[in-house]
Amino acid sequence: MKHSMAKKSNEARVKISPAKGRPMLNWVGKRPLKVVPALPAQHVETFDPSRDLGKKKPSDIWQNWPDGYPKGGLLFHGDNKEVLAHLLANGFRGKVNLIYIDPPFDSGADYVRKVELRGVKGTVKIEGEAYTLGEQIQYTDIWANDNYLQFMYERLMLLKELLSENGSIFLHCDYRKAHYLKVVMDEVFGSSFFRANIVWRSMTSSGFKGKKSLGKSHADLLYYSQNERFTYTPMWSPYDEEYLKRFDKKDPDGRRFKDEKIGSATSKETIEKLKAENKIYVTSKGTYRIKHYLEEAPGILIDDVWIDIRGENSQSLDLTGYPTQKPTDLLTRVIEMFSNYGDTVLDCFLGSGTTAAVAQKLSRHWIGCDINTGAIQTTSKRLQTIIAEQIKEGKKPKQKKLEGMEIDGENSPEPAQLGFTVWRVNDYDLQIQHNEAVNLACEYIGVERTRGDAFFDGTHGKKLAKIIPFNHPLTPLDLEELKKELDARPDEDRDITLVSLGMELAAQKWLDDWNRHRKGGAPNRIEVIELRTDPKYAGFIKHDPATAKVSIKLSNDRIKVEIKDFISPTIIKRLEMEQHVFKAKIKDWRSMVDCVMIDTAYDGKIFNVVLSDVPEKKTDFVSGGYSFPAPNGKTTIAVKIIDMLGEELLLTKEI
């Protein structure tokens, strides 16, 4: 199924309205967004096992959905700034009811997905960040403070434009940046629309408690609304046993109650009214006290302190290998309390996909985005499993009754959608992500990182080091930017190492002229390491792709697909590097395969997932053998194999 987003002009310009509050925090390089470019989206994959996306949908829950997109979940691969601008340019301005984001905390920590081969419990674990030049590091918080604040400022400005009039936004953060982000959100959304700073006890111990400092056991959810009118459904948590003991008295009809002193200012009329309602308890001394019945107490009203939800990574069944995965209970509470059936929920720092997964279960529309391929693959697998279960069981998602909805637990609404599409904004298969490449290049070449420098990436020996973005060769424009930076640092006398994939001829002439004037020990000589040609470092960009032996045959009106072998040189290399485990110890090729998907009529552009083999448990293997009815006439069978590091191998055959 093709849609019109990819057919629009190559780039549009989207206007951004000013921030709602006044500036209260300044940083180096602060600049508000006024106009941003909006790139088109390329439709790359569809999961629609029940052909739900083409069905006529009830207008009441799809009335705000742009016509250019199928009525189903939307999963975007790309930089979220570009994705958000694209959504604004294509009909989603003011259409998102709830935003939840869990951005990187600028902690200096590497957010790397841990990868475990399939098979017997206890098999080796490897980190997947370095298997190929632009993949796997989920988020590495390497920005200086000013860059981080500008990064968040720009994305919050875009999110404000997408939020509906009755919408809310939740920003998940911790002690490292909560105070800064609170002030930035006051500026963007207006301090009068701050609703709460929710404190979630996300950990039970930090390892320091009672030793060197106070333990850090909570995270913050900064909660803002777009307007004075916002969606909110009160919820209650159950009383604990100690509290229930307070209801220690009973009426003749068996109803339990507790009693409290009546205020001395209570009027006689009020007391008579309470008597008529059987709300007065007379003590043995003849004094009046007011009754509070247990049946009238739904529980403890949930406020801004959440201690009843288990912490990060505590739900083993939900684990996806992401170190910062949030529990489904947390997202369930946010989505149930601050959105309604059929509302649109957005998460542009999607990670393992918990927000989209919970939204799917709770009958909300969802939009998710992440810059990392591994995040897109992980989310897609989770959603495929959820939707397949919803279709197979024929059951509606379990959901508590929400205010304003005429439903009960057994008659909850049907899933808002039973399919989703995957889109790419900008071509991230060709444009390697700079932050990821910087980490890998620095490790490979031996650059020592300098986190406090907003321009240079570190030092190479005694020289300053700068990684040129790997989506283009070194140009004179890059060198002019370097010159401006050095002009702003008149006391800087160190030489410079530039790292790039290649170099334009004009850049070489610029360098020759620059270095000619710096003979005899003058400062700021520039050396360039070209990764494509340098004899010492050329191996950095070498990547051996995965290979497979796959049989695709037509037999008795059925297509039979058999994967006979699969090899991922990258996995083997990583095992040898990290665990000294050799190829001979991988006895079954399926231990390297995460999932298999098949398109029975591949058009060369959009991969429609017709058959999906996603093992339920980490110890389970993919089947490797598949049989299904042959379509009428000629068709192209496409088999997509995704290994445990997220690398995709696509094989096709015309039948």
pTM: predicted TM-score of the whole model, two decimal places: 0.74
pLDDT at 619 over 90: no
pLDDT digits (tens, 9 = 90+) for 313-332: 444 445 555 555 678 999 99
End-to-end C-alpha distance for the chain, whole angstroms? 21
Predicted local distance difference test score (pLDDT) of residue 43: 94
* Alpha carbons 225 and 153: distance in angstroms, whole number: 17
pLDDT at 139 over 50: no
In this structure, which amino acid lies at residue 53? L
Helix/strand/coil for 435: helix
Residue for token digits 């939800």?
A: 309
In this structure, which amino acid lies at residue 162? L
The Cα-based distances of 326 to 112, 235, 296 in angstroms read: 15, 20, 33
Residue for token digits 């001394």?
A: 285
Residue for token digits 């270095």?
A: 515
* Alpha carbons 54 and 72: distance in angstroms, whole number: 9
Q: Residue 194 — pLDDT band, cuts 50, 70, 90?
A: very high
- What 8-state DSSP symbol labels residue 620? P
Which domains occur in the chain, in start order? 4-106+143-235+303-425 (3.40.50.150), 239-298 (no CATH), 434-540 (no CATH), 544-654 (2.60.40.730)
Classify residue 556 as left (phi > 0), alpha (psi -120 to 50) or beta. left
Helix/strand/coil for 135: coil
Structure tokens at 567: 């090899």
pLDDT at 363 over 70: yes
pLDDT digits (tens, 9 = 90+) for 450-502: 777 889 989 999 999 999 887 788 999 999 999 999 999 999 999 999 998 88
Q: Residue 411 — pLDDT band, cuts 50, 70, 90?
A: low
Q: How many other C-beta atoms can be found within 10 angstroms of the C-beta atom of residue 373? A: 20
* Alpha carbons 112 and 59: distance in angstroms, whole number: 42
Predicted local distance difference test score (pLDDT) of residue 6: 43
* Alpha carbons 392 and 114: distance in angstroms, whole number: 31
pLDDT digits (tens, 9 = 90+) for 30-58: 998 899 888 889 999 999 999 999 888 87
Q: Residue 434 — pLDDT band, cuts 50, 70, 90?
A: low
Helices of type H across 447-594: 476-487, 505-516, 569-578
